Amino acid sequence: MQALRDKVAFVTGGSRGIGAAIVKQLVEDGAAIAFTYRENSESAQALVDEVKRNGGRAIAIQSDSADPNALISAINETANTFGRLDIVVNNAGVFPYGKPESFTIEDIDRTLAVHTRAAFVSAQAAIPHMGAGGRIISIGSCFVERVPVPGISLYAMSKSALTGLTKGLARDLGPLGITVNIVHPGPTDTDMNPANAPGAEEEKAWTALGQYGRGEDIAAAVAYLAGESGNNTTGTAICVDGGYAA
C-alpha cells in the first residue's frame, strides 16, 4: 500500500542530490510531486521523465528560493495543478564556505534568503492550501549540532535558524493538525559532496559510523515524517548523520 497515495508534495531544490532522492521516495510512496530547480532544466526534465515512466505524476518549476515571489508562485502553481497541497519540503540550499571576513553582505543575505526566509515564506504560502494532516519538513544540517572546522559559521547560522522556526511553527500550526519537523543530514554522498572527494576521509572520521550517508537515507526520514507514521511527531529534529552529533 502506498502511504502517500492521493497526497501532493512540493520540494524545493528537487532536481539533484538529496532533493532528487526525496522526490523519488515520495513518488514511490504514491504522492504527486512538484519540485523546483534554479538553473539546470535538463536535470529537472530528466527527473520528471523518470517519474512519469514509472507511473508517477511530477512537474518541475523553475524558481529561485531566494526570490520570495517566485517561491509563492511555485507553491500556488502546485496547488492549482494538482488540486491540493499536503507536504512541503524545504530542501534548496547553498554552501558558503570561508573566513567570516571574506563574505559580502550579498553573500550573507542570499544564504539567509535561501535557507531561512524561504522556509518561512513557503510555510506562509502553503498554509492556506493545507488542511489537517499537512506536513512541513525542512532539511537542516549536522553543523547545527557540531561545527568541527573553521569556515562554516555563515552556513551553520542559517541552518540553525531553522530549528527555532520548526519549533515555533509546530506551536502555531498544531491546532490546525499540521506537523512541522526538520531532518539533519550528515556527510552525504551527492554530486556536491561526493564520498570520494578530497577531504572525504576527514568527513567520514567525524561520524560514529565512519561513512557517508546516501540521499536515500535522508529521503526515508522525510517519508516517515510525511506519512501517517509522522502523525504524532512535530517540533522536533531527526538526525540522519551517521552519528556525527554523538
What structural domains does the chain harbor? 8-239 (3.40.50.720)
The predicted pLDDT at position 88 comes to 98
27, pLDDT greater than 80: yes
Summarize the confidence of residues 194-199 as an average pLDDT.
90
- When the pLDDT of each residue in the chain is averaged and rounded to a whole number, the result is 97
- Global pTM? 0.96
223, pLDDT greater than 70: yes
Side by side, the strands of the sheet bearing 32-37 are: 58-62, 32-37, 8-11, 87-90, 135-139, 179-185, 237-240
The predicted pLDDT at position 106 comes to 98
- Reported as a single tens digit per residue, the pLDDT across 162-171 is 999 999 999 9
Summarize the confidence of residues 203-227 as an average pLDDT.
97
Alpha-carbon distance 120 to 221, whole Å? 21
State which amino acid sits at residue 246. A
The predicted pLDDT at position 103 comes to 98
155 is catalytic: yes
Q: Do residues 168 and 116 make contact, with C-beta atoms less than 8 angstroms apart?
A: no
Cα pseudo-dihedral 48, 191, 10, 95, rounded to 10? -150
Catalytic one of 37, 97, 155, 224: 155
The predicted pLDDT at position 192 comes to 85
Confidence of residue 202 (pLDDT cuts 50, 70, 90): very high
